Amino acid sequence: MKARAPLARAFRFPEAGGRANSLAMPSPEARLAALNLVLPAPTAPVANYVPFVRCGETVYISGQVSLDAGGGIRGVVGADLDLAAGQAAARLCAINLIAQMKAACDGDLGRVRRIVKLGGFVQAGPDLFDIPMVINGCSDLMVEVFGEAGRHSRSAVGVYRLPLNFAVEVDAVLEAP
């Protein structure tokens, strides 16, 4: 049996066969609050692109970097930054992705039916091979916030350079009517 994310243990999930148990699934907003996370304003694009594109019920979110109010996490994972810092950078990407999701869903994260795919890019040093472990910083938060709907397919790629020297960048595809 797979272990659930730490937050998942605090809530009762639907039982096998899809029957809901006595407790309703908490909303993504309630899960964010339980994690003491406040979403930032969605980041404006820094070049000639849009933050997200909606095609029917599929939403494509442009890459979000490891930016926060303090300037974010920059540098090369495996050289300037250790694995834990890389995971923290990926978590910042997740927070920024969720902020963009909220904007794409007109302020209602409850509209997110499924995180379909994440594409993770790590500015990696020559001896860093734990790239999937870095991107887990993003993947884990998606599951913590969206529950089973947060489980997704994914790419995790090491790259030579990322924009503005950010340590991690992640884009997303989601289903949201």
Average of per-residue pLDDT across 45-67: 97
Confidence tier at 24 by pLDDT (50, 70, 90)? confident
Other C-beta atoms lying within 10 Å of the C-beta of residue 7: 17
For the chain, the structural domain boundaries read 49-175
The tens digit of pLDDT for each residue in 68-79 reads 999 999 999 999
Q: Give the predicted TM-score (pTM) of the model.
A: 0.87
The tens digit of pLDDT for each residue in 98-128 reads 999 999 999 999 999 999 999 999 999 999 9
Other C-beta atoms lying within 10 Å of the C-beta of residue 60: 16
What CATH superfamily is the domain 49-175? RutC-like (3.30.1330.40)
The tens digit of pLDDT for each residue in 113-167 reads 999 999 999 999 999 999 999 999 999 999 999 999 999 999 999 999 999 999 9
pLDDT value for 16: 38
Q: 91-118: b or e for each residue (b if 16 or more CB lie within 10 Å)?
A: bbbbbbbbbbbbebbeeebebbebbbeb
Type of residue numbered 95: I
**Residue 75: which of 40, 124, 110 has the closest Cα?**
124
